[in-house]
Structure 1
Amino acid sequence: MAATDTNIILIGMPGSGKSTVGVLLAKRLGLGFVDTDLLIQQHAGATLQDIVDAHGYQALRQVEEDVLLQMDVQRQVVSTGGSAVYSKAAMDHLAINGKVVFLDIPLAEVMRRIGDHGKRGISRRPDQSFPELFDERLALYRQYADITVQASGRDQDAVCEAIIEALETC
């Protein structure tokens, strides 16, 4: 299956480069681009952080699942929110017409890239540390990934090229 005949679903932690790499990948492959965080905000009429602040982390996960289950896209690069992997139904739905690519970066790099994670609309339990969240999600990213690309120490173009190469072999 050629990369341009399918959807490419990007998963990973906030700050892993899903949106930036997604746009570059879409341009390189002649595909559309969808950022599900923006769809969630449009659907909810609020920012991700506002949803978490007003209704809690589980409300954000529910809105995200609803939005992802409603998606019906073809020939798109889809940048998911970092918590998309908490919904098996949503991930199964996305994977039907696509290849799931995990952009893997280490915890220290995530923390450096995102800075104050308290303002990013990150879905996590109030008692959960960021390293605990990272470990929890890492297992889920690995579970759903068809392809894992090491994004640490690479610029966006190199990550994009690594994804294309991996897609050609699967």
Structure 2
Amino acid sequence: MAEERKDNIILIGMPGAGKSTLGIVLAKILNYDFIDADLVIQNQCDKTLQKLIDACGPEGFIEVENQILKDIEATKSIIATGGSAVYSEDAMNHLSSIGRVVYLQISFEELVNRLHDLQERGVVLKGGIGMSLRDLYDERKPLYEQYANITVNVDHLSITAAARKVADALK
């Protein structure tokens, strides 16, 4: 992979961390394009994330997500991944090869404040429907940390303030 292709910014983090919303603001700040990976998946599969998860199960959804993410080709783009992207090693290796991975870190307490209904958000619960938010947080946090080039804590920040903090961290 040519080094000059690493001009994308890939946002990872828990559902509710602000990847999509912050990504749009960050794209404006940096004059980048914006790609919402969840919307790419929905468009390619012609189903909402939740319907896909219901139809394929968590593991099947992760396979679909992996395939679509590893095929993303972009330049000068902010790419907001779904919270479950870190379950897909191939996808994360590809995304790391085309950009810098930024982990939007939030505390568990902040996550509880931001998330209300996991079922409506299309959140992949590998442990099944009985999986608690705490279990999900504890399962994914080490994966986010593993793949991140840069970690930015966005607790208690407005979207604009968080986007500026990320932009500063990228300098």
What is the alpha-carbon root mean square deviation over aligned residues?
A: 1.1
Offset at 1:116? 1.1
Q: Measure how far apart 1:128 and its partner are.
A: 2.5
Residues 92-144 of structure 1: CA distance to partner in whole angstroms, max 9, x if unpaired?
10011211000011122222212011221111121432211111100000000
**Code of the aligned partner of 2:15:** P
- Cα deviation per residue 1:27-51 (whole Å; 9 max; x = unaligned)? 1111000000001111111111111
* Unpaired runs of at least 5, structure 2: 1-5
Tell me the amino acid that sits aligned with residue 39 of structure 1: V
Q: Quick check: 2:110–2:156 contact (8 Å CA) kept in 1?
A: no
Q: Which amino acid aligns with 2:37?
A: T
8 Å Cα contact 2:154/2:162 also seen in 1: yes
TM-score normalised to structure 2 length: 0.92
Q: What pairs up with 1:140-155 in 2 under 5 angstroms? A: 140-155=143-158
Residue 168 of structure 2 aligns with which residue?
165
Cα distance in 2, alignment partners of residues 53 and 111 from structure 1: 24
- Tell me the alpha carbon deviations over residues 74-98 of structure 1, each in whole angstroms, 9 at most, x when there is no partner: 1100000000001111111001121
The whole-number CA distance in structure 2 between the counterparts of 1:130 and 1:21 is 22
CA distance in 2 between counterparts of 1:97 and 1:116 reads 33
* Deviation readout 1:134-159 (Å, 9 max, x if unpaired): 11100000000011101001111111
Quote the Cα distance in structure 1 between the aligned partners of 2:21 and 2:149. Answer: 20
Distance 1:154 1:128 in 2: 28
- In percent, how many aligned pairs have the same letter? 43
Matching residue of 1:98: 99
Question: d(CA) in 1 for partners of 2:117 and 2:88?
Answer: 25
CA distance in structure 2 between the partners assigned to 1:43 and 1:114 by the alignment:
26
Q: Report how far residue 23 of structure 1 moved.
A: 0.4
Task: Name which of 138, 144, 147 aligns with 2:141.
Answer: 138
Structure 1 stretches of at least 4 aligned residues deviating more than 6 Å after TM superposition: none
